[in-house]
A and B are shown apart, each in its own frame.
Chain A
Amino acid sequence: EPEVTQTPSHQVTQMGQEVILRCVPISNHLYFYWYRQILGQKVEFLVSFYNNEISEKSEIFDDQFSVERPDGSNFTLKIRSTKLEDSAMYFCASRDQGDGGYTFGSGTRLTVV
């Protein structure tokens, strides 16, 4: 069964450093998403991406965040200057053009120290 692949599975970074979280969505999917989940809290929407541009973003997705689909297969989330409160699981998801389910990756655990 096709999968959404995320790397790395765990990243530790110092406060103020830049991080890039990587995702390979399912190859024929058209819509791409980033979500995050702070430990013990709800899964929160960050951003959606379609046709090489951001479709929607939440209040969490401020100027410190950016997304890119550099080569037609990877989908990346960059955090420019990490804060302690950015520590969370970050999930990438993708879906095709219908109303079917979204496929989520297994996540990257980001720890900011």
Chain B
Amino acid sequence: DAKTTQPPSMDCAEGRAANLPCNHSTISGNEYVYWYRQIHSQGPQYIIHGLKNNETNEMASLIITEDRKSSTLILPHATLRDTAVYYCIVRPRATGSARQLTFGSGTQLTVLP
């Protein structure tokens, strides 16, 4: 699986957009970008994933660059409850296989009041 690079920590003011970057320069054509978060030792929580198009759901937006070598997770209006470690994970298509996720160190996002 392609390696990802994330900043170890970021701060964001409450109510503002949080933009979390991820580099995945060795990503291959069949690899998806997934974002998860972990709030204080709870189980990781799925946020969003994408292949090459930008994606949006009720939690966040995912912007993937045209060359797919980097992506940005956007939380449009961060709240204190969004304080968590955010993981960017690249994984090949797994339809029909039990392929696992490999977690890195992630980005500790702290939302400040």
Contact = CB atoms under 8 A, between A and B. Distances in A.
Interface in A73-93: 89, 91, 93
B41 A89 contact: yes
Interface residues of A, number: 28
Interface of A: 4, 31, 33, 35, 37, 42-45, 48-50, 55-56, 89, 91, 93, 97-107
The secondary-structure label for the interface of chain B is: loop
18 contacts: A37-B41, A43-B44, A45-B103, A50-B98, A55-B97, A56-B98, A91-B43, A91-B44, A93-B44, A97-B95, A99-B94, A100-B49, A101-B36, A101-B46, A101-B47, A102-B46, A104-B43, A107-B43
A101 B32 CA distance: 11
Contacts of A35: 103
A100 B100 CA distance: 12
Contacts of A4: 43
Given A43-B103, A99-B49, 5 more contacts: A49-B98, A99-B32, A100-B49, A101-B49, A106-B42
Interface of B: 32, 34, 36, 38, 41-47, 49, 87, 93-105
Contacts of A97: 95-96
The secondary-structure label for the interface of chain A is: strand
A98 B98 contact: no
A90 to B, nearest CB: 10
Q: Give 8 closest A-B pairs by Cβ, nearest first.
A: A101-B46, A104-B43, A55-B98, A48-B98, A43-B103, A50-B98, A45-B100, A31-B98
Contacts of B32: 99
Contacts of A33: 98, 100
A106 B43 contact: yes
A103 B42 contact: no
